[in-house]
Structure 1
Amino acid sequence: MTAPALIWFRQDLRLADHPALEAARRKPILPVFLLDDAAAGAWRAGGAARWWLHHSLVALDASLRARGVALHLARGRAEEVIPALAARIGAKEVHAGRLHEPWARKRDAEVAERLRAEGGELLLHSSALLHDPRTLRSGLGRPYAAFTPFARAIFGKGEPPPPLPVPDKLSGPELPGLALDALELLPSDGPTWWQGMEEAWRPGEAGAQSRLARFMADGLCGYSEGRDRPAIEGTARLSPYLRWGEVSPRQAWHAARAAGAEGDHAFLKELLWRDFSYHLLWHRPEMPEAPLDRRFAAFPAVRDRRLLRLWQRGRTGFPLVDAGMRQLWHIGWMHNRVRMIAASVLVKHLLQPWQDGAAWFWDTLVDADLASNSASWQWVAGSGADASPFFRVFNPVLQGERFDPEGEYIRRWVPELAEVPRRFVHRPWEMPGGPPAPYPAPLVAPEEGRRRALDAFARMRATEAA
């Protein structure tokens, strides 16, 4: 009789293109999802991501049941729970997709050690990225520190392998687990802030495939320009599906190649930026908390909880920023161009620590991803990879006039400005009598914010020189 295997689902909540599942599909399997908040610590999934995870697990269990097995849910320390489950079913192999977060790497080493002590083995498979960050090196044999040579190297390797098929039928031992509600992933404060997410998203593998097909048919052509226009559906909106592994980057890559539309190269580079972020995280595990450019430890940010709160609630007085922050609160997602501008205003105009902004995104984004979130915030702050010139300061007014020229995005998410004439929609403080109540005046004038940021950079450099 063939010994069963345990399949540990983590950030690969799908059945298609699942290397861990493929490696054991001819064996009886026990599919397991384990919630291990203790190991994740400060990086346990935030509120919006936990809402998504709840619904994604519902979808994954349904897909598995349709093929003959059920998803086993558990909660606790992985180094205790996973070996115990493997022993209960007589499994010597535990298969899982490789994780890259520092806390997960430490935990996997502990799980592997415990399994080895009991005669078992943890087998990790590459399922979340296009290329393994452990093996990719520059011509000098070093990890990449800039995106352009990184992307050039991956394009030079040719196409990634084609996606793996969905298994037709699965079988395995029955082992009762926790009910999904016992994981306590949904908010306990009632159906309030997350109702907008329910209207905007369809978590799960089927939702991912539907979204991917729709984007390839309607959005890939013109993506190069459309992705910067927040008023239109010009982006793929695949980020939460990639974050939870409901679609793999290989599936997205090959779908874009098959579509053959103008814009595919720009889309593939976005997939590579995600890979690059994980490359940075693997080699610089301090990235979520400390600046990659160590000079920025001396950046004179002054933590102000009032300013942070106004930014969080979309009350900065900069219409494009406020529209983005309110979109984020309503649907757990914000347009990427607006993310950059909102982040720049917090860090440079308001001189707040980038870590505080990253923490808010971590809790409110359905696509909250430690590598991408950290790398992107550091890029905007000037302390990260490819942050050149590091003293770049986005003007939120000019950015709005360029990328939302009619103010459609602003009027949708900031109803106080719905009737403001076009010439004032990006600068309502210039209206006779000021902005319509209750919309606030800017927390700082755009020109003053830029001057403050440049002065802060000058003080940082002076500290370094001293």
Structure 2
Amino acid sequence: MASSPSIVWLRDDLRVADNPALTAAVERGAPVVVVFLLDEQSPGVRPLGGASRWWLHGSLQSLADDLAELGGSLALRRGAAAEVIPALVAETGAGAVYWNRRYGALRDVDAALKSRLRAEGVVVESFGASLLHEPWTITSGSGGAYRVFTPFWRACLATGEPRSPLPAPASVDGLAVAGDALDEWALLPTRPDWATGLREAWTPGAEGAHARLEQFVEHGLPLYHRRDEPGIEATSRLSPHLRFGELSPHQIWARVHERLAPEAAANRAKFLSEIGWREFSYSILFHQPQLASVNVRRDFDAFPWEAPEPAVLEAWQHGRTGIPIVDAGMRQLWTSGWMHNRVRMIVASLLTKNLLVDWRIGEAWFWDTLVDADEASNAASWQWVAGSGADAAPYFRVFNPVLQADRFDPDRAYVQRWVPEVDGPEYPRPIVDLAVSRTRALAAYEAVKAAALSAG
């Protein structure tokens, strides 16, 4: 049994169950320091958007309560990881540091820190906790990254069942250290307080995550074959809980393989393939850490994006485009910090194709306003819709929002909920002609294709 303390450095894994880093620290048999670091300084870090900061506050509160019930505590520190973690090791005399892996640009920070601490005689171990499959284990026949989802997911399924989720430790021999008070971080909005809708819609934390999972399994999964209809509750809404690691994909996988009602069991494979899309996005991020700023398809570097008029961009952001399903989605986002997935594709297509606005502008707006703003899924999805990403076939697809609404919201339940004035005289005319702008978009895509062919 070790005597020097163990440090568990938490990041996007804010849970006590199925947390390999926490389990390893407890099993080492020494006092455990659990720390969360608000790092807005390390190279490659992307500061959280406003909605994510709101969520993080609630998630950290919940995690602190969960750790306290086990006998542990949560220390809050702020600063660059390369400075704060070694200082905490020195302060506590820690002999081991454990964390769960990240897969974007910050993995370079983790690798450098691991090498440095090991050279100083500290045990450092990292674990897979947020994905079913480590990105480097799922490769194409040529040994490279998959660029198409279906063969990627087929390869994932061929590896066999994921590991079972780990139980929460029975107890944590916690070692309390000084840290910041959560309120000092000012994560919550105050003037103005725009989070009323978020508070009404969400319960951050592991308890809220598992309650959401159970609600979905009982009520949503039986309707999941209708997941593209935004007016009904047929999707899981687990994305923010996954983004902050309050719930792991292993826990979800295990739960939906338990006994289900027949109508729910019929939809299990399709739901799990959506977990697969999250895995696919992280595979892309692992191989291209600058996913939020660099086109996966580099021929799109020549795409003729147009600078948006401020009034047009603001109309899109706040749901005043005069296109009902787009406005409904953007208002749902602004109010609740979340948007139905089908509608995300529709609003992104309007921005990038009908308005020819660079996908990075839309991705940044989602990053700031989504409670599930995820470094892999958000950027990969925007690139998929824009045509610049992986598996974006046909890359020139332009979603017609009117036809999409007719097909997926035929009774207008979704539109009327979020745009009650839709049939009134005050509702604005469309900011863009859908037919004319579609033709213009297709011409732009053809120009990029021709340029790529001539260059190749």
TM-score clears 0.5: yes
Name the counterpart of 2:439: 451
The amino acid of 2:93's aligned partner reads G
C-alpha distance in structure 2 between counterparts of 1:402 and 1:383, whole Å? 26
Aligned residue in 2 for 1:370: 375
Q: Which amino acid aligns with 1:202?
A: T
What is the RMSD computed on CA atoms of the aligned residues?
Answer: 1.4
Aligned pairs (5 A) from 1:204-219? 204-219=205-220
| Selected match of 1:297 from 291, 298, 301 | 301
CA distance in 1, matches of 2:93, 2:186: 29
User: 2:15 matched to 1:14?
Assistant: yes
> 2:141 and 2:247 mapped to 1: Cα distance?
32
The Cα shift of 1:8 comes to 0.6
Moved more, 226-235 or 136-145: 136-145
Contact 1:79/1:114 (8 A) holds in 2: no
Taking the aligned partners of 1:42 and 1:133, their CA distance within structure 2 comes to 20
CA distance in 2, matches of 1:40, 1:202: 32
How far apart in 1 are the matches of 2:160 and 2:452? Answer: 43
Paired position in structure 2 for 1:256 = 256
> Partners of 2:345 and 2:335 in 1: how far apart?
18
Over the matched positions of the two proteins, sequence identity in percent amounts to: 52
1:290 CA drift (Å): 1.4
Question: Does the CA-based 8 Å contact 1:242-1:249 persist in structure 2?
Answer: yes
Distance 1:106 1:14 in 2: 24
Other structure's SS at 2:222 match: coil
Deviation sequence 1:266-317 (CA, Å, 0-9, x none): 1100001000100001012232111111111111110113322211011111
Report the number of matched residues. Answer: 446
SS of residue matched to 1:202? coil
Give the match's secondary structure for 2:77. Answer: strand
TM-score, normalised to structure 2, is: 0.95
1:201-225 CA distances to partner (integer Å, 9 max, x unpaired)? Answer: 000000000000111111112312x
Deviations 1:336-358 (A, max 9, x none): 00000000000000110000000
Sort the Cα spacing of 1:42 and 1:437 in 2 relative to 1 into closer, same or farther, 3 A: farther
- Structure 2, gaps ≥5 residues long: none
SS for the counterpart of 2:399 is coil
Question: Given the alignment of the two structures, is residue 383 of structure 1 paired with residue 412 of structure 2, yes or no?
Answer: no
1:424 alignment partner in structure 2: none
Post-superposition offset of 1:465:
4.4
One-letter amino acid of the counterpart of residue 72, structure 2: V
8 A Cα contact 2:39 2:45, kept in partner: no
Mean CA deviation greater in 341-350 or 117-126:
117-126
8 Å contact from structure 2 (residues 56, 187) kept in 1: yes
Q: Is the 8 A contact 1:128 1:245 kept in 2?
A: yes
1:294-443 → structure 2 map (5 Å cutoff): 294-304=298-308, 305-417=310-422, 420=423, 436-443=424-431
Aligned to 1:99: 102
Q: Distance in 2 between matches of 1:115 and 1:186?
A: 34
Q: Distance in 2 between matches of 1:441 and 1:271?
A: 38
In the other structure, the counterpart of 1:64 is: 67
- Select 1:164's aligned residue among 154, 163, 166: 166
Shift of 1:325: 0.2
Deviation at 1:78, TM superposition (A): 0.8
Alignment correspondent of 1:237: 237
Partner of 1:120: 122
Q: 1:94 corresponds to which letter in structure 2?
A: V
Q: Distance in 2 between matches of 1:406 and 1:117?
A: 64
Who is 1:246 aligned against?
246
What CA deviation, in whole Å up to 9, does each residue of 1:327-379 have, x standing for no partner?
00000000000000000000000110000000000000000001001110011
Paired with 2:442 and 2:344, the residues of 1 have a C-alpha distance of 21
Look up the SS of the partner of 1:366 in the other structure.
Answer: coil
| SS at structure 1 position matched to 2:162 | coil
Return the offset for 1:259: 4.0
Shift of residue 117, structure 1, vs aligned partner:
4.1
Look up the SS of the partner of 1:370 in the other structure: coil
Q: Give the 3-state SS of the residue equivalent to 1:258 in structure 2.
A: coil
AA aligned to 2:348 is A
1:176 offset after TM fit, Å? 1.9
How far 1:113 moved relative to its partner? 3.4
Deviates more, 1:361-370 or 1:92-101: 92-101
| Residues 7-57 of structure 1: CA deviation (Å, up to 9, x unaligned) | 011101001111111111132200000000112666211100000000000
- Per mean C-alpha deviation after superposition, the further-off stretch among 129-138 and 334-343 is 129-138
- 1:30 paired residue among 26, 29, 33: 33
Of residues 78, 81, 84 in structure 2, which corresponds to 1:78? 81
Counterpart of 2:5 in structure 1: which amino acid? P
